[in-house]
Amino acid sequence: MRILVVNVNTTESMTESIGAQAAAAAAPGTEIVPLTPIFGADSVEGNYESYLAAIAVMETVRRYPERFDAVIQAGYGEHGREGLQELLDVPVVDITEAAASTAMFLGHTYSVVTTLDRAVPLIEDRLLVAGLRARCASVRASGLAVLELEQEPQRAVESIVEQARLAVVEDDAEVIVLGCGGMAGLDSAIRSRVGVPVVDGVASAVTIAESLVRLGLSTSKIRTYAPPRPKTFTNWPPH
């Protein structure tokens, strides 16, 4: 089966590391196709860029020329998953929800450690809308920007470990979720330092997408995610 894993920002090196993380988690026979959005910001760290990414991810997937079996939106706490579900017949998995859903099988509560403080409310709201917030102990910010994660992996690990430990001690978290697509690959280093399960969104999204495909399940088309109605568009899509 072929799974598209779509980065939300236009930084190619991040697409590559997300793709590598996805491939490492994939079952034999799963082809991972990492995609970079055809437009947008080099990093997504707020609502403007996130809304832009939402539509960029949709347009990027629409232009993908081959058949595929599932799509993963690889941005943590970003807008847009609902639109993809309308546009596509195949399963759509957002890493925010994949990680939270996976974490809930591993402990009584989980905390998310993300990048900048400004990302915290976006994540909280996405978890609320997804119905996955009841057992979220906290969302904490490491203070690192998205691109710093890549440039300074050792500092990233330290910052995430520090917040993960605080989540465990102060917030009673039993599982840590890595709250940024750009944290892909840091999970085992953090797990060994903090002593609790650490869930990576990209990896868990891959196994969930594979599972849905294997079970023959896809998005319900009966109401919220029915295909878009025919429309007349002005100045869209951009050339």
Q: Which of 4, 61, 104, 167 binds a second copy (CB under 8 A)?
A: 104
Pairing of strands 2-6, 136-141: unpaired
Q: How far is CA 163 from CA 103, 117, 131, 132, 198, in A?
A: 17, 12, 24, 21, 13
Q: How many residues bind a second copy (CB under 8 A)?
A: 93
163 binds a second copy (CB under 8 A): no
Nearest approach in angstroms of CB 123 to a second copy is: 11
Looking at residues 12 to 31 of the shown chain, list those that interact with a second copy (rule: CB under 8 A).
Answer: 25, 27
Q: Which of 1, 23, 33, 86 binds a second copy (CB under 8 A)?
A: 86
Residue 194 tokens read as: 């903090």
Nearest approach in angstroms of CB 76 to a second copy is: 16
Q: What is the largest CA-CA distance in the chain?
A: 54
Contacts of 228-232 with C-beta under 8 Å, sequence gap 24+, read 228/86, 228/87
Residue span 112-151 as binding mask against a second copy, x where in contact by CB under 8 A, dash where not: -----xx-xxx--x--xxxxxxxx---------x------
Nearest approach in angstroms of CB 41 to a second copy is: 4
Nearest approach in angstroms of CB 44 to a second copy is: 9
Among 47, 167, 25, which Cα is nearest to 107's? 167
Stretch that binds a second copy, among 15-23, 94-102, 151-159, 177-185 (CB under 8 A): 94-102
Residue 13 C-beta-side C-alpha neighbours within 13 Å: 9
154 binds a second copy (CB under 8 A): no
Closest CB to a second copy among residues 3, 120: 120
101 binds a second copy (CB under 8 A): yes
166 binds a second copy (CB under 8 A): no
Tell me which residue has tokens 């992996």: 153
Nearest approach in angstroms of CB 67 to a second copy is: 21
Residue 106 tokens read as: 């591993």
Give the C-alpha separation, 30 to 148, whole Å. Answer: 31
Give the C-alpha separation, 174 to 99, whole Å. Answer: 14
Looking at residues 183 to 222 of the shown chain, list those that interact with a second copy (rule: CB under 8 A).
Answer: 188, 195-197, 199, 203-204, 207-208, 210-212, 214-220, 222
Q: How far is CA 185 from CA 24, 85, 91, 116, 162, in A?
A: 10, 27, 24, 19, 17
Nearest approach in angstroms of CB 39 to a second copy is: 4
Nearest approach in angstroms of CB 114 to a second copy is: 13
Tell me which residue has tokens 């878009």: 228
Closest CB to a second copy among residues 51, 68: 51
Q: Which of 174, 181, 183, 201 binds a second copy (CB under 8 A)?
A: 174
